[in-house]
Structure 1
Amino acid sequence: MEFLDEKLEDYVNAHTSPESEILSELNRQTHINVLQPRMLSGHLQGRTLSFLSKIIQPQRILEIGTYTGYSAICMAEGLKENGELITIDVNYELEDMVKSYIEKAGFSDQIEMKVGNAMDIIPKLDKNFNLVFIDADKSNYSNYYDLLIDDLPKGAILIADNVLWSGKVVEEIKKKDKDTEALKIFNKKIQDDDRVENVLLPIRDGLMMIRKK
């Protein structure tokens, strides 16, 4: 997942605004207590999400893939005063941890966590979202996009994480690899979709930035 030289990455992080004490604690606790801590957005990507959200100042945010709540808290930092963020995750075992850190961060009134299958939940939502972050099962990236794109308002921003997939998207697939193939299909879908404009940023494991025209 790491594409930069370690010294250069340290320099980048040293010249990026620090995460809050609550996020730093959540970062540590995720690495200590939760499986696959590399799924956490982390310092640089978290500050990127926060920065973008503060620029957009969204009224409504949708996150698909909560994990331990780090990225949700980052994006909530840019919400309008009466804005809301809905985050969806299938893992009920992390729900208590997520909600406790949402409360510690002061966003209990603005962040709502829904536990279940996003493919079932998304069709029931009001899709008037200004910002969408997709960071869930890779095989459904294209499906999530298709469920949302037509109903999102003009100018809405979607961000998809892990679109470089540790560099596998540019390697020859020698054996059946559903996740890599799904991400390559998704990236091509976005590139070919004239309803949007897009930029693929090589931040951490790749962020696909998408703006609905």
Structure 2
Amino acid sequence: MEWLARVMGARRAIEVGTFTGYSALCLARGLGPQGRLLCLDINEDWTHVARTYWRKAGVADRIALRLGPAATTLATLPQEPGFDLGFIDADKENGRLYYEEVLARLRPGGVLILDNVLWGGKVVERRQHPGDTSLQAICELNDFAAADERVQPAFLPLGDGLLLLRKR
């Protein structure tokens, strides 16, 4: 993700779901010294770990963290496109909501990254896991994004799968 941010020349990014902050650290490095990253998360304990490592890596001044439900925070952001890059790695049941909110705030040509689109390989056997609401939400979002004419999709089978979506 650091590489992608650098190649794009991204300067403003948003991350929904921060956890211990590794992806945020990579994004902040890729944005460069003048770049700014907005991170949204609900867990103060995990993001405390993140802040510790951001300071050690020298990128804490580039990252703003907002604690609280991401849907609520996203609704308070200006509607105009202000981000070059977005990354969503949060609760899967609200993935479509996050997708719409971040995409609306992404500039044309900007990139939205969805994490965990393979869900441990379960996406190919989704019918065998009818009670897995996260899996069902991921499959629905994958299908929606693949057909969404507002974006150009590219799939990377790295880790648990990344879906990169370039906004038209």
Please classify the TM superposition score into its range, dividing by the shorter chain length. over 0.9
Deviation at 1:200, TM superposition (A): 1.2
Deviation at 1:64, TM superposition (A): 0.6
- In the other structure, the counterpart of 2:107 is 153
Identity of aligned residues (%): 39
Runs of 4+ in 1 over 6 A off after TM superposition: none
Asked if the contact 2:18–2:47 (Cα under 8 Å) also holds between the matched residues in 1, the reply is: no
- In the other structure, the counterpart of 1:173 is 128
Asked if the contact 1:134–1:160 (Cα under 8 Å) also holds between the matched residues in 2, the reply is: yes
Asked if the contact 2:103–2:112 (Cα under 8 Å) also holds between the matched residues in 1, the reply is: no
Unpaired runs of at least 5, structure 1: 1-48
Alignment of 1:55-70 (within 5 A): 55-70=7-22
RMSD after superposition: 1.3
Deviation at 1:174, TM superposition (A): 4.2
Out of 40, 45, 50, the residue aligned to residue 88 of structure 1 is 40
Kindly provide the CA deviation profile for residues 158-199 of structure 1, in whole angstroms up to 9, marking residues without a partner as x.
000000001111102343210111001000110111111001
Out of 73, 76, 86, the residue aligned to residue 25 of structure 2 is 73
- In the other structure, the counterpart of 2:153 is 198
TM-score normalised by L of structure 2: 0.93
Q: Rate the CA distance shift 1:194–1:68 in 2: closer, same or farther, 3 A.
A: same
User: Aligned partners of 1:140, 1:202: CA distance in 2, in Å?
Assistant: 22
Residue 109 of structure 1 aligns to a residue in which SS? helix
- In the other structure, the counterpart of 1:31 is none
* More divergent stretch after superposition (157-166 vs 75-84): 75-84
